[in-house]
A and B are shown apart, each in its own frame.
Chain A
Amino acid sequence: MRIPCPHCGARDVQEFTYLGDAKPRRPEGLDATEAAMLEYVYVRDNPRGPNDELWYHAAGCRAWLMVRRHTLTHVIESAVPTKSAKAGVAA
């Protein structure tokens, strides 16, 4: 696979590490409940189709990216920095 890093251009997937689904949002603060945190840490969908995922350009610019990848075909629609995409940022 090649991931189109918005900073570095298309790079071999070997340069990246994969984290997983980008949708879950960390329940922030002292008021967060254990149940919500449990959901955030462990519960994931297993979608067939385009999915937003977190990838880290470890051997490149060290940016965390939100990559929209089709889980069946591996077709990548987009890759954007999480900093701009606000992926994972608590509301």
Chain B
Amino acid sequence: MNAQPFRLPSGGLVDRTQTLSFRFDGKTYDGHPGDTLASALLANGVRLLGRSFKYHRPRGVLSVGSEEPNALVELRTGARREPNTRATIIELFEGLEATSQNRWPSLGCDFLSVDRLAGSALVAGFYYKTFMWPAAFWEKLYEPVIRRAAGLGRAARFADPDHYEKAFAFCDVLVIGAGPAGLSAALTAGRSGARVILCDEDFRLGGRLLAERREIDGRPAADWVAATLAELAALSEVRTMLRTSVFGLYDHGIFGAVERVNDHVAVPPAHQPRQRGWRIYTKRAILASGALERPIVFPGNDRPGVMLAGAVRAYVNRFGVLPGREIVVFTTGDNGWATVCDLVAAGVRLSAIVDSRSEIDPTFKALAERAGARVFAGGAVEATQGGHHVRGVVVRDSSGKHTTLSCDLLAVSNGWNPTLHLTSHQNGRPIWNEDVQAFVPGTLPPGLAVGGSAAGRFTLAQALEDGARLGREAAVEIGFRPTHIEPIPTTDAETNRVKPIWRVRGGRGKAFVDFQNDVTEKDVELAAREGFRSVEHLKRYTTLGMATDQGKTSNIAGLAIMAEQTGRAISDTGTTVFRPPFTPVAIGALAGHHRGKDFRPVRLAPTHDWSREQGAVFVETGQWLRAQYYPKPGEQDWLTTVTREVLAVRTGVGLCDVSTLGKIDIQGRDTAEFLERVYINGWKALPVGKARYGLMLREDGFVMDDGTTSRLRENHFLMTTTTANAGKVMQHLEFCHQVLWPKLDVRMVSVSEQWAQAAIAGPKSREVLRDILDAVHDISNEAFPYLAAREVTVNGGIPARLFRISFSGELAYELAVPADYGEAMMRALMAAGSPHGITPYGTEALGVMRLEKGHVAGNELNGQTTARDLGLGKMMSSKKDFIGRLMARREALLQSDRPTLVGLRPINNAERLRAGAHFISMGRTANTDNDEGYMTSVAYSPSLGHWIGLGLLKNGPRRVGERIRAVDPVRNSEIHVEICSPIFVDREGTRLHG
């Protein structure tokens, strides 16, 4: 038994010395290295590869490349299962497993084949018209049914186990496509010394030359390809990228590409990515992407066994596979005859050649004779016969007589469309060229040139000539001097006349325009009748040109029929604009390494490992991971832990990492003046060795950030920002300096990363610090009062900075040491504090204590509050100009009923407050009209034994003592609260100054 009955006895670029075993729909087949899944299946006589999207019609292989609309399969199994992969570009590997999609229960017997059931109902605009009403039917009835019937394969149900990468490349000249034009462009540019990247989506270089029997310089084209590749390999500045699809062209010569590094093996080798997404920065680019052959629209044109004539040549010449034994060619131009020629050369006889043109070249007639084929000049195929693949065709000859011919392969050719998609990515509109009967590139984006078939210059001679010329021009434009100019290689003769027909009229049955979306000529007619004239609307109404192939084989026929229906020329109808990506791109290739825990960089404090050792639970704050709380064994929930931490600070001493705060070193003669302008409060009078709380507005008058800033020396300040806003504040300060006031002598740099900083808070904090600081530093209340800020030393001379500032309202300090000492500092503080029961605390306890003291934080600094809203209006100096001054004084922002900061406590102490709850006056309906503000932050106060909250309430401060409803429609709760001062603990601040 012949394992591969349709494999020719010799020829092709497959390695017949090796056999690869693979499975399709559970059956095992053999193929060879160099095969695609499509060529291997065809070699085994498998023609039915899938069912169509809408009608579940049988579909086989149409093409030989990435434009394939039909032969979509699910590749691999389990977590690596990938739907909608094109059998025509899947490289065969040992153990490959693929299944057909869109069929139930099996490919051969599909119960959902709506063709048999209700096919005529699924016309253009079907979804829009049928499922309009009632809305509820959509979710419950229509969608589940349609989802079952339609669809394009199933996604894997598990996370992708493979690694993906991103990479960046730079070159002088990018050449897209390694066919004759691309190879000669890369060669001439490379010879001049330019850095060249040559990309091709195929796994072998040569483009159409791999598929054709052509001669260059009197020898087989393969020899020229081999010689060219050898020379390119020897040029050190030329890089060749196989299996790499350039999918997008972006501004300023940037291209997106995806390299299928290990799609051609079952599982990527260890340490290697599956795919790599490239961003390629170029000075010049040459598009040499070739052309895509057009099918013909006639009834039954979607039956397996109807194949593009150029694809037939490729299967014969490149893969050594004969896609059929009884062959009819249906062509509207010379290209169909090239297939006849190659089939004859391969020793294959043909049944018939149907050429829609009435005049046939004598050489073609002679060729037909040699092939033993009948010729139908001025004829057309009006129907195909057969079930799952073609068994025969009905030909109408020039006199109108019908003949039925038996055949198992119908090769069709209707001319070629330049693969010009990338020229459109920057809004370029393709232009209809009457001479070549195709759209050709219109205005090109800067730096891009197009040559060969991609430019509508379809002969091999033109491709070689364009490539050489464009390669040289690109190199010269960017300053390279070609040393010598090699003559352009000569080629054998060819003709490429074509007189396309956009559909065959007169037959019966469905004639498909778009195979992938099951759009027929009737759908296009219907759209035209219903008033659609623009091709963009046609696309959206009929789905023509959507999905994975983006209409690469269908757009032109669709718009030609539209043109005919609306009485316009094709040039007046225009084409849809192509957008990236040219080919489907896995999200993994765009994300690269950045998925899961590597989704974005995480910032860790220098004390992070210490905190982890202490059992911390971490929380994301901006990019940072901060210790949220430190649970001890036996603690049931976070509230128990946080309560313990807060009480430890309030009664003894606690330790908290604050390294994540933004720290900006600001020096220069005008620093104080600069601070005056960026903060709302005054800075000139701040003495050296003191810190001050500062509030910054945006120019629109709303609060941007807050923090303490210390004057270390006369002209040296250290600003701190909130953790989340550090980058934004730095950018703002640079703006103020560089754009607004460049004359000020201000020099700033972020030192956030240089210092590890810890808050030591609680009545015992001074005692702990005394143990840590070198003895020369007096930190008594007199020598180092509240808001003192000084450079000190620890452990016998390690430079450190000490600040007496407090977020908790207790006696507290912040100690900063160089980050390398961060962990040592924590250990030393823990050791020194152990007699006092020192307790590490996290951001949660910090949040509770700041709330107890009425300090605003992120929830209140939400970009919608003014200083006045936060009760900090008095800080605004009237003696100076500062950012945001005027806009903060706008009338609406001064209205007394603006929501303003208040404290809130439950009337029933047992009740829990909820952040986000809205305030409604007693007796009023809870709706937006009666909304008076909302709860911004809540916490359980261990000091008071009940929940407390901060909120923004209309007329807030004047309503202290009033009771109000706090309604939380999200959690469906409501409690009554009393409005109070936002300072809940130690209102006089005695502890702070103690």
Contacts and interface: CB of A to CB of B under 8 A. Distances in A.
Interface of A: 1-2, 12, 17, 19, 26-30, 32-34, 37-38, 40-42, 54, 56, 58, 62-64, 74-76, 81-83, 86-90
A29 B699 CA distance: 13
B570 to A, nearest CB: 28
Nearest to B890: A34
B887 A37 contact: yes
B889 A34 contact: yes
17 contacts: A2-B252, A12-B279, A17-B731, A32-B881, A37-B699, A40-B699, A56-B735, A64-B734, A64-B739, A74-B252, A76-B252, A81-B738, A83-B738, A87-B739, A88-B740, A89-B739, A89-B741
A54 B727 CA distance: 17
B739 A54 contact: yes
Contacts of B738: 63-64, 81-83
B252 A1 contact: yes
B739 A41 contact: no
B734 A56 contact: yes
A19 to B, nearest CB: 7
Nearest to B749: A62
Contact of A62 (B700, B734, B889): B734
Contacts of B889: 34
A86 B253 CA distance: 30
A1 B279 CA distance: 12
Given A2-B252, A37-B886, A88-B740, 9 more contacts: A12-B279, A28-B740, A29-B881, A32-B886, A37-B887, A42-B700, A54-B735, A56-B731, A62-B734
Contacts of B890: 34
Contacts, number: 71
A40 B254 CA distance: 35
B635 interface: no
A86 B740 CA distance: 9
Given A2-B254, A34-B890, A74-B251, A83 B742 contact: yes
Interface string B878-903: 00110000110110000000000000
B251 to A, nearest CB: 4
A26 B740 contact: yes
A10 B251 CA distance: 13
B489 interface: no
The 4 closest A-B pairs by CB, nearest first: A37-B886, A88-B739, A64-B738, A1-B251
Contacts of A40: 699
B730 to A, nearest CB: 8
Contact of B742 (A17, A58, A89): A89
A41 B742 contact: no
A41 B887 CA distance: 9
Nearest to A27: B886
Nearest to B701: A41
A12 B256 CA distance: 13
Contacts of B887: 34, 37-38, 41
Nearest to A31: B881
Interface in B717-759: 727, 730-731, 734-735, 738-742
Contacts of B5: none
Given A34-B886, A41-B887, A82 B731 contact: no
Nearest to A57: B734
B742 A28 contact: no
A41 B699 contact: yes
B449 to A, nearest CB: 18
Contacts of A27: 886
A82 B889 CA distance: 29
Nearest to A2: B252
Interface in B167-214: none
Contacts of B251: 1-2, 74
Contacts of A74: 251-252
A30 B446 contact: no
B281 interface: yes
A62 B734 CA distance: 8
Interface in B228-286: 250-254, 279, 281
A30 B742 contact: no
Nearest to A64: B738
Contacts of A41: 699-700, 887
Interface in B271-307: 279, 281
Contacts of A33: 886
B881 A82 contact: no
Contacts of A19: 735
Nearest to B254: A2
Nearest to A3: B252
A47 B10 CA distance: 65
B740 A89 contact: yes
B588 to A, nearest CB: 20
Contacts of A56: 731, 734-735
Contacts of B731: 17, 56, 58
A73 B412 CA distance: 41
A89 B740 CA distance: 5
Contacts of B886: 27, 32-34, 37
A56 B729 CA distance: 13
Contacts of B250: 1
A39 B741 CA distance: 19
Q: Which of A17, A64, A86, A87 has most chain B Cβ within 10 Å? A: A64
B788 to A, nearest CB: 32
A55 B700 CA distance: 20
A89 B739 CA distance: 6
B881 A30 contact: yes
B281 A75 contact: no
Contacts of B279: 12
Nearest to A54: B739
B854 to A, nearest CB: 30
A55 to B, nearest CB: 11
A57 to B, nearest CB: 10
Interface in B686-710: 699-700
